[in-house]
Amino acid sequence: MLFRPSLCNSSPDSSSPGLQLFASSPLRLFQPSYLPSSFEESTVQILGYGIQSPAIILWIGTKSEEHIYKRALVSLVTISFLIRGVDKIRGDFNPFWFKDYGSWLEYSIEKDAAFCMCCYLFGEETRYDAFITQGFKSWRKKERIENHVGGPNSVHNQAYEKCQNLLNQEQHIETIVIKQSSQARTDYRIRLKATLASVRFLLRQGLPFRGHDESEDSNNMGNFLELLQVLANQNEAIKRVVLENAPENLKLTSPKIQKDIVNAAAIETTQVIISELGDAPFSLLVDESRDISIKEQMAVVIRYVDKRGCVIERFLAIEHVADTKAQSLKLAIEAIFFRHGLSMSSLRGQGYDGAANMKGELNGLQRLIQNENPSAFYVHCFAHQLQLTLVAVAKDNNLIDAFFESVSMVLNVVGGSCKRHDMLQNIQDAKVVDALDSGELESGQGLNQKTSLKRPGDTRWGSHHDTLINLLLMFSSVVDVLEIISDDSTSEHKGSATNLLSVLDDFDFAFKLHLMRDILGITNELSKLLQRKDQNIITAMELVRVSKKRLQMMRDDGWDSLLFEVHSFCNKYEIIIPNMNDMFVGRKRSRRKAELTNLHHFRVDVFYATIDLQLQELNRRFNVVNTELLLCVACLDPSDSFSAFDKEKLIRLSQLYPNDFSDLDRVRLDSQLSNYITDMRTNSKFFGVKGISGLAQKMVETKRDIAYPLIYLLLKLALTLPVATATVERVFSAMKIVKSRLRNRMEDEWMNDCLLMYIEKDIFNSIDDETIMQRFQNMKNRRGQL
């Protein structure tokens, strides 16, 4: 029977009463009942296991024999036949020999023989020795044991030295490998953390990772490697394990590793968003746009109410779509929902632009989704509708249309070349300096910033208003540039500049410039408020109403103030002011002679007509305000001590969401509404609450969301309704930064991951390095281990 030596050189603690077992698994069969009653005070310690047969090596001792121990190789099968006496073990083997030769002597109960453990393992030249082959049984010839030991250089002592080396754990290969493995793990962790730090910075800034030449002798290895080099130069611990000091097969700098780390971070970021959403109802915001590589990309944003009662809009994904048909978009949305574990049944709102494939009543995307989920109500983007009103005014009113054409021509001639653009800037800078010297302008931080003429666009919200503001500020400089171009005989724009000078030097242009500035100023404020992420449908409706009221007030009372401002402007720039009582003479000859005064023309044909057209378009575009859904939602408004409260309409609102309110819930809702309105109107904590957003947050703060859960659910559903797709538009703005002209070959998944971290920086920053590293490590088998 062969065995391996024990790695335990210490004796058992014989002072402990009762049986003591120090093994892990094989000795669970070994119970105190297997020992004779005479060994209740014995101490047993496991020292090793048999090699060729299941066996264990035991120390056995008693309190009275603190320094004398018997060691035996016992079969697991015959555990109950463990020991038959304290002083003797089968035959005449003397247990006291363990005291003198215990470091190498072993006794076999089965063979009733003694063996030399050291020579058995390492004594290759002495295989004829009985202590190795048959076992020593000459119990009365102790001198044979001494002969076996021999002198200092005997085979036994050489084997004994080798055995001691084997028993020395610090010299074991396994120990050395463990130490090396521990150091390798430490180095790998430092290297991975430094790589992740570089990745984090580049993702937050939307910067590219790779360079054109990433070789070690390159002057610019790319943002990622250069940033990693900076970290190494600033930290010796990092420098020791990265780049040229890292193993060739574990540098963690390859593009594949970079993409895996970014993907791990994207998964963790998305999981935080999905976890924050939970099982709450949400709305869907979708739009499409082409990227720099002429690929149609569909951006998906979800809108929901978090646990604090705040409205949240989060970017979820951007997906490449082959076409923009409604059915194709729906399939792409379903695929995104499936990847993130979202259900179409939880959808409670849709927000898109006015394209036919999105808002179509029969086959549009909103109709396809509503056929599957009737509670997913569609709301046309308010900001988009507002922009359409401006476009309609410019297109349907010939006078205003001609005005914007003149503005566009001014921008083309004055800012059409770098030379003329620089000329305009230099002239404007000189005028600002003169105005500061003369005291016309005040100096201070943020004042008198450099401005330029912005080109308006039908799809860029607020661009028309910004253009008119800058044209007013730079009017004299624009006139000076046009005069220079007109006097330049070599300029191909000489004729256009001359014609534009006559247009700008006309009272008609100055009047329309100020009129449209004021009208667009009202709608531009509305546009900016509608683009807020936390905007809600009730506040949006109120803002539209306020804008209509301001336009009506301008129509009723704004003529005199506008005319006075236009006269001041004309006097400043020496523009001839016509007599309002004189007959109006148009630029074009009319087929019918109509005797109209200048006052009638500017006040009725221009002032009234433009404002009326704007009001008409606002009423037509925002007719959604009068729908049953929004009329019911408006009853949640806390303004004026909940003056809009209407129990019947709120119960009707719950009927519009059959999946959220059962018949029993509506009965309970009736009772809750009575208690709720009394509580709200008498509780000082709810005095002065602004909007349903503030109401939802205050209810969470005061635990009223628990007291009135059904009413709070109505609030969440109202807040979930989308207002504008501004967040989706911001995704496309970010896409132009991340997927730029130099990065036009980005893969779709890579762009999606980079965009997610760039847009949702707050969530990305909240995820600790260890979480991302563990996700990266578990994605596949890695050479390095954390």
Q: What's the pLDDT at 522?
A: 86
SS3 content of the chain, % helix, strand, coil (to 5): 55, 10, 35
560 and 443 within one domain? yes
DSSP 8-state code for residue 604: I
**Residue carrying the six token digits 């290759």:** 124
686 and 616 within one domain? no
Give CA torsion, residues 354, 359, 361, 364, to 10 deg: 130
458 and 309 within one domain? no
CATH number at residue 366: 3.30.420
737-781 pLDDT per residue, tens: 999 888 888 899 999 999 999 999 999 999 999 999 999 988 888
274 and 217 within one domain? no
504 and 445 within one domain? yes
CA-to-CA distance for 391 and 495, rounded, in angstroms?
29
Give CA torsion, residues 768, 773, 775, 777, to 10 deg: -170
Q: What's the pLDDT at 8?
A: 36
Specify if 702 maps to a domain: yes
Specify if 11 maps to a domain: no
146 and 180 within one domain? no
Q: What's the pLDDT at 463?
A: 73
495 and 456 within one domain? yes
Specify if 632 maps to a domain: yes
3-state secondary structure 345-410: HHEEEEEECCCHHHHCCCCCHHHHHHHHCCCCEEEECHHHHHHHHHHHHHHHCHHHHHHHHHHHHH
DSSP 190-221: HHHHHHHHHHHHHHHHT-----S--STT-S--
**Which amino acid makes up residue 458?**
D
Q: Which of 253, 271, 289 is the last residue of a domain?
A: 253
185 and 162 within one domain? no
pTM of the model: 0.70
User: Which residues of the chain, if any, have pLDDT below 70?
Assistant: 1-92, 124-128, 169-180, 434-462, 587-594, 624-626
447-496 pLDDT per residue, tens: 545 566 666 665 565 677 888 888 888 888 888 888 888 888 777 788 88
Question: Quick one: how far is CA 631 from the chain centroid?
Answer: 36
**Inter-residue contact 94 to 101 (CB < 8 Å):** no
CA-to-CA distance for 512 and 563, rounded, in angstroms?
11
CA-to-CA distance for 439 and 116, rounded, in angstroms?
109
652 and 581 within one domain? no
Specify if 359 maps to a domain: yes
CA-to-CA distance for 651 and 57, rounded, in angstroms?
81
Q: What's the pLDDT at 473?
A: 86
350 and 365 within one domain? yes
**Inter-residue contact 614 to 552 (CB < 8 Å):** no
Specify if 668 maps to a domain: yes
- In sequence order, which residues have a C-beta less than 8 Å from that of residue 322 and are 6 or more positions away? 296, 328
Helix (H) or strand (E) holding 119: helix 117-122
CA-to-CA distance for 694 and 310, rounded, in angstroms?
8
Domain that holds residue 596: 386-624
Burial class (CB in 10 A: 0-12, 13-18, 19+), 376: buried
**Inter-residue contact 105 to 84 (CB < 8 Å):** no
Q: Please report how the helices 507-530 and 609-621 are oriented relative to each other, as an axis angle in degrees rounded to 10.
A: 20
Tally of domains within the chain: 5
549 and 449 within one domain? yes
Specify if 761 maps to a domain: yes
Helix (H) or strand (E) holding 425: helix 418-438
Q: What's the pLDDT at 461?
A: 57
CA-to-CA distance for 219 and 232, rounded, in angstroms?
17
Q: Which of 168, 195, 216 is the last residue of a domain?
A: 168
What's the angle, vertex CA 631, arms to CA 625 and CA 634, rounded to 5?
100
157-191 pLDDT per residue, tens: 888 888 887 777 666 666 666 565 788 888 999 99
CA-to-CA distance for 668 and 672, rounded, in angstroms?
6
Q: Which of 591, 624, 657 is the last residue of a domain?
A: 624
Q: What's the pLDDT at 331?
A: 92
The token pair that represents 694 in the structure block: 């503030």
Give CA torsion, residues 217, 221, 225, 231, to 10 deg: 70
CA-to-CA distance for 235 and 493, rounded, in angstroms?
61
48 and 72 within one domain? yes
